[in-house]
Amino acid sequence: MLDDLLPISLTLDAPLLAGSGLWSLALYLGLPSVGDWLMDGLVRWFDFAERSLYFSQEASQKAFEKTRAARASQNAFYASILSILPFLLAGGIANGAIAQIFDKNWTIAWAVMAVFAAGVYELGRRSGPDRPDR
């Protein structure tokens, strides 16, 4: 059905997509500071871009303050969605590297092991003794 709509032939390799998704999840769980840094940067950029849409000072201040809470939550949502894209790209690269180093059949197995390791790391990081709320 998809071939009828598109003029080009589009083939999706299921193991490639699964391995890339799993590697992306492992990287996202294993590098939480990078994800937080990306989200903070994107929120700042969205806030700056939205602030530049208001031209006059007096009218813009009223309109800007009136919709601050809605815009902040909307910008945080967009930033959280877009912060996943670099991890998807890095997951695809990691999956390709594992496919070149080992056999293509091992990519999903290594990705599952990486997700388990990153999950254990994340659980330990969140419940460790050096948490700031303890």
Inform me whether the pLDDT recorded for 29 exceeds 80: yes
SS3 of residue 67 by DSSP: coil
pLDDT, mean of residues 104-127: 90
Cα separation, 49 vs 34, whole angstroms = 22
Specify the DSSP class assigned to residue 9: -
Q: Kindly indicate the confidence band of residue 54, based on its pLDDT and cuts at 50, 70 and 90.
A: low
Specify the DSSP class assigned to residue 30: H
Which sequence spans correspond to the domains of the chain? Answer: 14-124
Q: Closest by alpha carbon to 49, among 65, 69, 71, 80?
A: 71
Specify the DSSP class assigned to residue 105: G
Cα separation, 75 vs 46, whole angstroms = 6
Pick from 75-79, 119-123, 130-134: least confident: 130-134
Question: For residue 114, what pLDDT is reported?
Answer: 94
Check if the beta carbon of residue 39 is closer than 8 Å to that of residue 83: yes
CB count within 10 Å of CB 115 equals 20
Specify the DSSP class assigned to residue 130: T
Q: Kindly indicate the confidence band of residue 132, based on its pLDDT and cuts at 50, 70 and 90.
A: low
SS3 content of the chain, % helix, strand, coil (to 5): 80, 0, 20
